[in-house]
Structure 1
Amino acid sequence: MRICDFLRTGATDHGMCAKSFGEKKGKTGIKTVDYKKKLEETEKKLRYCMEALNHINEGIIITDKNGTIVIYNKKLGEFEDLNAEDVVGRHLMDVYEWSTESSEHYQVLRTGKPIKEGNYQNITKLGKTNYLIANSFPIMAEDGEPEAVCSISRDVTSIREIYNRTMGLQSTSEKGNAPLENGTRFTFEDMVCKSGAMKELIANAKQAAMNNAPVLVYGETGTGKEMIVQGMHNAGPGWNHPFVALNCAALPETLLESLLFGTKKGAFTGAENTTGFFEQAGKGMLYLDEINSMPLNLQAKFLRAIQERRFRRLGDDKERFIECKIISSVNVEPMRCVEEGQLRQDLYYRLSGVTLEIPPLRKRKGDIAALIKHFEHKYCAMYGKKDVTVDKNLRDAFIKYEWPGNVRELEHLIESAISLTNSGEELTLYNLPPYLRKTMYASNYVPEDVERMTLNEILYSVEKKAVKDALEKNDMNVSQAARSLGICRQNMQYRINKLGLRNTEKK
């Protein structure tokens, strides 16, 4: 007996699968016992399988070729506010308000072909709306015909909610309020910049904000790309219209396309009339982050839309006009994206009419001191602390550090340190995570002009700074300073004399 025949017989005690086979009487007691033993083993294995299915994070439903539900796991019940016991054994059309034409299960049965990443909106019996993405595939019989269909679903409602919260489609009455009601939180006035490189960047960004030409922003992760883009929106003529942001790397292709262009009811299973991001941005700004993560076939559709300044919703024949300014960004050098096949060359040329490159923090170290002060004030206020500051040694280490995570890394380090520090204390190297403490401690003792120094000069400079810092941290107490460096008092006194630090001793 095949597994699908077993499943179609009904639900077990677990409410998931088939009921009992029933007993088959054999001519001898031995055959009946053998049959019962095999049946028990089969039921045990099936129970194990169902227990596993009920502990995964995807929803699973299996229907037979007649449309009867034979498998329905716990997670799908959580997605849809349904119980397996109430669903298994019922017809698909009795449970869901679908037609046979719109049902993915019937489409798979008819064609024998899987449907990948179909997305649909579901309104549960409790009135909750959620969005699911499902992969449906046929289970083939021995004759090569589909005899059942399995769908595996994941809930993407939280992703939709994140983007809905960032849209800010309400109008704003006064420009400059923070947070702004147009969907942004930053203006150019919020940005900390003392270096010439950043001042030039902001000047160019303000110019680019004044027209409707597309802009491509390039910057490493953590440099503040969206902050610059939001500043452009609030400095431009469309400041009182919505700012809509979409991270192309965070969503699967099918959902990305429907979010971008919108959908018409009936375009696919569960599709409703929805406005896409082009429409939601209106006369404001659409920001596409990590555009190089958009699938190439979707890049072609996107290119055509922005070239013609018009588009169609999925499943719709009506053309709609694009009125928003479009800004996109990448965190890898743009031409490298083109050469590696991540970004279409024609799309790159279309988007890069104006290209703004945000320098990494290691190339604008003139901003570090101002950024430190800004984050001190910000997080002292946030965590109710007073007068927590970064001490000189840590400040020097910050300036010498290369900052692979850029401004975001600096901000998170200061936030973490302030949250764990008492009011009035100074932040030191010891307030940093252990993995970073060693790196910064070493870099803090490397002379700035090390490339022009001999080995002896480097060693002398490092030793002198280490001894001097130990004395200052221990209130010029030689014994305590010696202990902090792991040497004896006599050795410490010898080094003080050798390094010319005698006059710094506390009398």
Structure 2
Amino acid sequence: MKTRLKEIIAQYPFFFDILKTIDAAVYLCDNNGRLLYVNKAAERLDGYTNEELYGRTVTEIYGLDEETSPMLRALTSEKPLEDISFRYDVNGREIYQICNARPIFLDGKKFGAYTIQKDVTHLMEVIERNIRFQKEMFSPVGDSEGFGIDSLIGEHPLFKECKKMAIRAAKSDSPVLLTGATGSGKELFARCIHQNSDRNKGPFLAINCAAIPETLLESILFGTSKGIYTGALERKGLFEQAEGGTLFLDEINSMPLVSQSKLLRVLEEKEIAHLGSNERIKVDVRIISSSNTPPQEAISSKQIREDIFYRLAVVNIMIPSLAERKSDIFLLANHFISVFNERFQKHILALDDEVLGFFLKFPWPGNVRQLKHCIESAMNFVTDEDLRISKDHLPVYLFSIDNAANHGAQGSSPPKEPVDRNRESKPPEPESTGVFSAIVQKEKEQIIKALMENQGNVSKTAKQLGMHRQSLIYRIKKYKIT
């Protein structure tokens, strides 16, 4: 066999040169499961050289057999295996791989088998670390602050209706599907629903279905059994870890349709089974999911199975984009300014009227998340003497997006001049001043009303208005409220 392998290497030297340089680990065995060749990536991964492994069996080195080794399964079944995920132990390390395995035939006779494996150990460690972090820092959410309904900031009629639906949804255990563009606040809605529900003493765990490879998603959701591979540990999936609480499946429209069918079964039967096991395990978990694609579009494009859509969308909350509720920009901006004032030890009072006018015209493709990051960026450039965020403090990329949007809408509009952070701010334009003054007057009236309701108690008023106490004091002085 060794002679034959040498002949093959001599015949196809370029092929083995390619195998030496690729990042994926490649293993080749004979008809008896004895290793004939591993490439450099496999040597780095397992800590053995090609010479050390030659002639030794997969079972001897890795403790794998025909059930647990994809390569040996391909060898005995004489059929290819696609995107198989499995774990094994080697040199005191647990390795998690996704692999493709094939039998090898030469001159019509079976020669052996090979497998090409992608190491996802680090990815799994990151995912598991993220889950642990969520459990430690955010669960039970009922014992933490910051995710009440008041954290859903906005007074636009469309957004207020979404908040009402969220409050109602919190009173039941029905599945909720949150629909909205990326950055519109879907996870915040999910956390608020959980915290205001009877499950708020249980865990809240979230996972982004788009960020997990298809072959790993099911093991993360449903867990693995000891028998799925040699030396495996019994691992609980997210359904078991979220027992008594809420599981948030973000971007459910990115979940493979096969996995969606298994999820549907879980929703119907309230049971899961670990991968590699037939034992059914009862679970008590509320499902909240989200989609960044409108429902009918997701169904027609086969991103979401129609049957699971109706099961997940018992309550369907369609969150408007920031462009659809621009009247909330002032409230949101002031909230983020308060947050970053505290974080950066700054004393910014508000946006200046030119920036507010610009924000009201801006398309906000990144929604509320983009507004938050924009305010954070500006807070890095304001000085101790600044009281307002001006255009000179804003990230330059905003003006490229605005120019593109205006150019698309107006056709021949000339591009605006890039912002110079060192240039003095232009005086406010009259029309934006009018808009700003009206909104300022409204905020002043809200503060006066809240102060009266709380008999002048600043702390209670700040809590009612959803702002920090120091920020309220700034506004009281600014508006000369006595």
Structure-1-length-normalised TM-score? 0.72
- Partner in structure 2 of residue 320 of structure 1: 281
AA at the equivalent of 1:228: F
Cα displacement (A) at 1:122: 3.5
Amino acid at match of 1:155: V
The one-letter amino acid paired with 2:68 is S
Residue correspondence of structure 1 range 234-313 to structure 2 within 5 A? 234-267=195-228, 271-313=232-274
Q: Deviations over 1:66-85 (max 9, x none)?
A: 32323323333444344445
| Cα distance between partner residues in 1 of 2:103 and 2:3 | 14
**1:99 has 2:80 as partner:** no
Pair 1:140-2:101 in alignment: no
User: Displacement, 1:188?
Assistant: 2.8
Q: CA deviation at 1:406?
A: 0.6
Alpha-carbon distance in 1 for matches of 2:425, 2:211: 50
Q: Secondary structure at the match of 2:142?
A: coil
**Residues 472 and 326 from structure 1, CA distance in 2 versus in 1: closer, same or farther, beyond 3 angstroms?**
closer
Write out aligned runs for 1:71-470 (5 A). 71-125=37-91, 127-143=92-108, 145-167=110-132, 168-169=134-135, 175-178=142-145, 186-267=147-228, 271-383=232-344, 385-387=346-348, 390-425=351-386, 427-440=389-402
Q: Which moved more, 1:111-120 or 1:436-445?
A: 436-445
Deviations 1:223-276 (A, max 9, x none): 011111011111111111111222222223332122222222223577542212
Residues 397 and 441, structure 1, Cα contact 8 Å, conserved in 2: no
Question: Is the 8 Å Cα contact of residues 86 and 97 (structure 2) preserved in structure 1?
Answer: yes
Q: Percent identity among equivalent residues?
A: 32
Residues 407-466 of structure 1: CA deviation (Å, up to 9, x unaligned): 111122222333345443454434445443145479899xxxx9xxxxxxx9xxxxxxxx
The aligned runs of 1:476-495 (5 Å cut-off) are none
1:58 is aligned to 2:20: no
Question: Per the alignment, do residues 212 and 471 of structure 1 end up closer, same or farther by CA in structure 2, a change over 3 Å counting?
Answer: closer
Answer yes or no: is the 8 Å Cα contact 1:380–1:388 preserved in 2: no
Conserved? CA contact 2:348–2:389, under 8 Å: no
The letter of the residue matching 1:363 is E
TM-aligned CA distance change 1:272 to 1:472, over 3 Å: closer
* Aligned equivalent of 1:454: none
Task: Indicate conservation of the 8 Å contact 2:64/2:229, yes or no.
Answer: no
Q: Which residue of 2 aligns with 1:68?
A: 34
Tell me the distance in 2 between the aligned counterparts of 1:61 and 1:257: 26
State the alpha-carbon separation in 2 of the partners of residues 152 and 475 from structure 1.
Answer: 61
Contact 1:119-1:270 within 8 A present in 2 as well: no
Q: How many residues are paired up?
A: 414
Question: Are the structure 2 counterparts of residues 105 and 406 from structure 1 closer, same or farther at C-alpha, using a change threshold of 3 Å?
Answer: same
Q: Which residue of 2 aligns with 1:473?
A: 426
- On the 8 A contact 1:4/1:148 being kept in 2, the answer is no
Question: Structure 2 unaligned runs (5+)?
Answer: 414-422, 430-482
Deviations 1:462-492 (A, max 9, x none): xxxxxxxx9973899xxxxxxxxxxxxxxxx
User: Is the contact between residue 249 and residue 290 of structure 2 (CA under 8 Å) also seen in structure 1?
Assistant: yes
Q: Deviations over 1:314-357 (max 9, x none)?
A: 23232222211111111111122112222121111111111111
Secondary structure at the counterpart of residue 328 of structure 2: helix
> Residue 426 of structure 2 aligns to which amino acid in structure 1?
K
After TM superposition, the structure 1 stretch with the greater mean CA deviation from structure 2, 274-283 or 153-162, is: 153-162
1:4/1:64 contact within 8 Å kept: no
Deviations 1:341-394 (A, max 9, x none): 221211111111111111100111122112212222333444455538543212
- The answer to whether the 8 Å contact 2:392/2:425 transfers is no
**Gap regions ≥5 residues in structure 1:** 9-17, 19-38, 179-184, 451-457, 459-469, 477-507
Q: Which moved more, 1:162-171 or 1:278-287?
A: 162-171
> Structure 1 residues 226 and 106, CA, compared in 2 at 3 Å: closer, same or farther?
same
Instruction: Verify the 8 A CA contact 1:264 1:314 in the aligned structure 2.
Output: yes
- In structure 1, the residue matched to 2:473 is none
Residues 229 and 327, structure 1, Cα contact 8 Å, conserved in 2:
yes
Shift in alpha-carbon separation, 1:422–1:344, aligned structure 2, 3 A: same
Displacement of 1:103: 2.0
Query: Within the alignment, does 1:6 sit opposite 2:6 as a pair?
Result: yes
The range that moved more, 279-288 or 311-320, is 311-320
2-structure distance, mates of 1:70, 1:421: 64
CA RMSD of aligned residues (A): 3.5
TM-score (normalised: structure 2): 0.75
Distance 2:406 2:5 in 1: 72
In 2, Cα distance between the equivalents of 1:328 and 1:112?
41
Alpha-carbon offset, residue 86 of structure 1: 3.5
| Compared CA separation, residues 428 and 118, structure 1 to 2 (3 A) | same
